[in-house]
Amino acid sequence: MSEPKIKNMEEFASVSGISRPTISKYFNDPTSVRATTRERIERALDQFDYQPNMYAINQNRRLTKNIGVIVPYLADPFFAEMARHMEDLVIAAGYRPVLLGSHGDADLEVENLNSLRLMKPAGVLLAPLGRGSDPERIAEFSQDVPTVLFDANLETIGEAFVGSNNQQSINLIVDYLCRTGEPPSFFEMRLPSNPNAFKRRQAYVAAMEALGHEPQLIQVDGDGWEFEAIGFREGSRVLEERSLPTDTVLCSNDRLAIGFLSAAYQKGMRVGLGDGCALRVAGHDDHPFSRYTCPTLTTVSQDYESIATKSAESLFEVIESGSAEKMREETLFDGKLVMRGSA
């Protein structure tokens, strides 16, 4: 009985047990992989009778081996961590990563795309600003260059989107906070920069109502990406005014929560569980610094590695096929509750 026909490189990687980046690297340049690995790939090619789309591969060779990775703010450790994972994957697949930050500026985001266009990149991994982005310019770019979006979704733009399941993750932490103490209020920026914040607001309201509690939104002024400063300034104001409707605060993201924790400390308020604690504070993202706050921050983790891997693999698939996917694929990864000392 003959082996089933392999349709694409992803299926070949799965049945052969050889990583997708290694196979991609082999097809781009067989001498770039170890001799023993090359032999394994060639045996698998014979065994599974797989013939890659050489026309697409040859077309790709006319481009540079550059892959752009654009994030909103390189100083944000969340995006730095995502970019680090993506750089490793891009290099392993035989490409060269070109990392750019938009500094929260829509004009710079477009300028970064235009700079990459001049380099004739094989593709781009883009975490857009979101609300501040220029969707028409990004859509125009993505029609010419294979583009996969991650973190923030701009509907219909790019070949694919990969991000976090905000509905699931907010449900998870709201349920935990309600089970272990007073139902949480939701501390957020009135006009947040990232569209994930709107999704989290909606998910919070739905989760509270589903549990029979009245949602309590604390919407504060502030824009841009200086979240810790906004969390500290507005958290200080809210605590000074004694306007909190509950002793539990769920912040829209960990960076706001870090600022809020600092504000509570300055006011002499003890945050955490148990006797003598005046507040519980939680966040979202499992920011790299959240495990080092005082107290350590209870949060919901984003699956950095899976988001980075799926984003890169989706882009490699488009590059190697030589054509766009028929259907724009959206992939969301669930979060995990991380219980620490703050709530």
| pLDDT tens digit sequence for 25-65 | 787 777 777 888 888 888 888 888 777 665 455 555 556 78
Directed axis angle between helix 195-210 and helix 166-180, to 10°? 40
Q: Which of 193-202, 258-267, 273-282 has the lowest mean pLDDT?
A: 193-202
Q: Quote the CA–CA distance of 120 and 10 in Å, as a whole number.
A: 25
| pLDDT reported for residue 165 | 97
| pLDDT reported for residue 321 | 78
Of the candidates 27, 28, 23, the residue with the CA atom closest to the CA atom of residue 13: 23
Which positions ≥6 away from 133 have C-beta within 8 Å? Answer: 106, 109, 154
* Res. 108 pLDDT band, cuts 50 70 90: very high
| pLDDT tens digit sequence for 220-269 | 998 878 899 999 999 999 999 998 999 999 999 999 999 999 999 999 99
| pLDDT reported for residue 158 | 93
| pLDDT reported for residue 155 | 85
CA distances from 328 to 9, 10, 147, 154, 160 (A): 19, 17, 11, 12, 5
Phi/psi region, residue 130 (left: phi>0; alpha: psi -120 to 50; beta: rest), is: left
Residue 78 class from Cβ within 10 Å (0-12 exposed, 13-18 middle, 19+ buried)?
A: buried
| pLDDT reported for residue 324 | 57
Q: Quote the CA–CA distance of 150 and 266 in Å, as a whole number.
A: 36
What long-range pairs does 219-225 form, CB within 8 A, spacing at least 24?
A: 219/188, 219/189, 219/190, 220/187, 220/188, 220/189, 220/190, 221/189, 221/190, 222/189, 222/190, 223/189, 223/191, 223/193, 224/104, 224/193, 225/72, 225/73, 225/76, 225/104, 225/193
| pLDDT reported for residue 1 | 39
Instruction: Please state the pTM of the whole predicted model.
Output: 0.79
Structure tokens at 253: 């993201």
Residue 289 class from Cβ within 10 Å (0-12 exposed, 13-18 middle, 19+ buried)?
A: middle
Pair type for strands 299-301 and 336-338: antiparallel
Q: Which residue has the higher pLDDT, 84 or 130?
A: 84
Alpha-carbon dihedral 106, 104, 114, 156, rounded to 10 degrees: -70
Mean pLDDT highest for which of 30-34, 50-54, 90-94, 194-198? 90-94
Going along the chain from its start, the domains and CATH numbers come out as 9-52 (no CATH), 62-163+304-333 (3.40.50.2300), 166-301 (3.40.50.2300)
| pLDDT reported for residue 64 | 77
Is the four-CA dihedral 174, 177, 179, 184 of positive or negative sign?
A: negative
Q: Quote the CA–CA distance of 95 and 310 in Å, as a whole number.
A: 16
Q: How many CB atoms lie within 10 A of CB 118?
A: 7
CA angle 312, 69, 127 (to 5 degrees): 85
| pLDDT tens digit sequence for 304-338 | 999 999 999 999 988 887 765 568 899 999 999 99
End-to-end CA distance of the chain: 59
The kind and range of the H/E element at 332 are strand 329-333
